[in-house]
Amino acid sequence: MGEVWTLAEFSHGKLSSVSYELLNRGKNLAEKLNTALASVVLGYNVKREYIDELIARGADKVYVVDDKNLENFLVEPYAKVLIALIKEYNPEIFLAAATTTGRTLMPYVAVKVRTGLTADCTVLDIEEGTGNLLQTRPAIGGNILATIKTPNTRPQMATVRPHSTKPALPDRNRTGEVIYKKFDEDVFLSKSKYLRFIKDESQQVSLQDAKIIVSGGRGLGRPENFKMIDELAELLGGAVGASREVVDRGWKPYPHQIGLSGKTVSPALYIAVGISGAIQHIAGMQTSENILAINKDPDAQIFKIANLGIVGDLNEILPLLIEKIKAYKKKEAV
């Protein structure tokens, strides 16, 4: 039986926490299949502490490809390295996060190794009897869930929705094997060149990493009112989201848009303020762990998916909420 692999993902020199979420998923699958769990790390100047962290969080093995050419993500060289590793070790399952990197790299790889890839899964399990991976994912804007199998080809590949599970916790006593692989220059040849990264200065916390997202909709009435959303997000250490209505009006730039034609997020808490809950908005946030909605219309669709719904005027509720959170934080600080 081949191993269960997870792709460890770097973002700007740091291992991202989705890498540990994948280990959590992978551990469960590897145990059921009675096989080893391995992480694959591609990058440059990969610090030993990162490798140890992956082992502490469940990896039995870590494959490391450390090369200057892998400093920034470019699909062609990354894919070539992964394809070579897959051909050499024949993993049974290969998981990556459904981030912009995972969603670019995995389909490129799957085509070339001629295997199936399931997108943006929220549930993974092993089918009794066959040992096949059962991959469940939302489709049609979250209106349905589909379970998908890759019965005849290996590895069974899937991208996994970030935050759809908790990161694996570290156990400092765990040990694991580290395998360094080297590749010839020609593997890294690419018709693309990485130029630069431009940080979004308007976001302290990126939407995809945020534990809490506070989103505002047209119900805010005026762009100035968005300050309340920004302030609430900052107090909670969260990120700021927006409905399309807000983005189309220019109250917030496009990178903040949540929904069908924006980003898909799954934070621990999503706070929707003055958002009606149109199906295209819900498609981007309905797998959030908790949803709090504030809207003056008791019949707003958003309440159907909320854990806590407050029917009322946001102009009254937000200032008081902000005040109470400040008071609470002050009290906690002493």
Partner 1 sequence: MKIVVPIKQVPETSNVKMDPKTGTMVREGVESIINPLDLYAIEEAIRLKEKSGGQVIVISMGPEKALEAIKEAIAMGCDDGVLLSDKKFAGSDTWATSCVLAHAIKKIGDFDLVICGERATDGDTGQVGPGIASFLDLPLSTFTSEIISIDEGKIQVRRLVEGGYEELELKLPAVLTVVKEISDPRLPTLRGKLRAKGVEIPVWGPQDIGVDEENIGLKGSPTRVVKIFTPKVTREGEMITVNDEKSLEEAVDKIMEFLIKKELI
Ligand X SMILES: Cc1cc2nc3c(=O)[nH]c(=O)nc-3n(C[C@H](O)[C@H](O)[C@H](O)COP(=O)(O)OP(=O)(O)OC[C@H]3O[C@@H](n4cnc5c(N)ncnc54)[C@H](O)[C@@H]3O)c2cc1C
Site residues for ligand X per CB under 6 A? 116-119, 137, 139, 144, 146, 148, 217-219, 243-246, 257-262, 274-276, 278, 280-281, 284, 294-297, 300, 313-315
Q: Could you say which of partner 1, ligand X, none residue 255 binds, taking C-beta under 5 to 8 angstroms by partner kind?
A: partner 1
Give the x-and-dash track for 28-67 against partner 1 (CB under 8 A).
----------------------------------------
Q: Could you say which of partner 1, ligand X, none residue 141 binds, taking C-beta under 5 to 8 angstroms by partner kind?
A: partner 1
For residue 169, what is the DSSP state? P
Mapping DSSP to helix (H, G, I), strand (E, B) and coil, where does residue 285 land? Answer: coil
Provide DSSP, 57-118: TT-SEEEEEE-GGGSS--HHHHHHHHHHHHHHH--SEEEEESSHHHHHHHHHHHHHHT--EE
Mapping DSSP to helix (H, G, I), strand (E, B) and coil, where does residue 295 land? Answer: strand
Q: The dihedral of CA 297, 246, 101, 236: what is its sign? A: negative
88 is an interface residue for partner 1 by CB under 8 A: no
Considering only residues 106-165, where is the footprint of partner 1 by CB under 8 A?
106-112, 114-120, 134, 138-153
What is the pairing mode between strands 212-216 and 308-311? unpaired
Minimum CB distance to ligand X smaller for 42 or for 272 = 272
The residues near 109 (Cβ < 8 Å, ≥ 6 apart) are 79, 82, 83, 86, 157
Q: Could you say which of ligand X, partner 1, none residue 32 binds, taking C-beta under 5 to 8 angstroms by partner kind?
A: none
At closest approach, how far in Å is the CB of 104 from ligand X?
12
Q: Could you say which of partner 1, ligand X, none residue 245 binds, taking C-beta under 5 to 8 angstroms by partner kind?
A: ligand X
Residue in 197, 224, 250, 331 binding partner 1, rule: CB under 8 A: 197
Q: What residue type is assigned to position 328 of the chain? A: Y
Minimum CB distance to partner 1 smaller for 178 or for 311 = 311
Residues in the chain, overall count:
334
Going from the C-alpha of 172 to that of each of 18, 47, 92, 230, the distances in angstroms are: 19, 17, 27, 38
Residue with tokens 């958003």: 302
Minimum CB distance to ligand X smaller for 35 or for 159 = 159
Minimum CB distance to partner 1 smaller for 56 or for 229 = 229
Minimum CB distance to partner 1 smaller for 56 or for 106 = 106
Residue with tokens 């990120």: 239
Strand-pair partners of 240: 214
**224 in Cβ contact with 247 (< 8 Å):** no
Q: Could you say which of ligand X, partner 1, none residue 274 binds, taking C-beta under 5 to 8 angstroms by partner kind?
A: ligand X
Interface segment toward partner 1; rule CB under 8 A; list 61-69, 163-171, 195-203, 217-225: 195-203
At closest approach, how far in Å is the CB of 173 from partner 1?
27
Query: Packing angle between helix 75-89 and helix 100-113, nearest 10 degrees?
Result: 50
Q: Could you say which of ligand X, partner 1, none residue 17 binds, taking C-beta under 5 to 8 angstroms by partner kind?
A: none
At closest approach, how far in Å is the CB of 31 from partner 1?
23
C-alpha 229/C-alpha 224 separation (Å) is: 10
Q: Could you say which of partner 1, ligand X, none residue 1 binds, taking C-beta under 5 to 8 angstroms by partner kind?
A: none
**43 in Cβ contact with 66 (< 8 Å):** yes
At closest approach, how far in Å is the CB of 317 from ligand X?
8
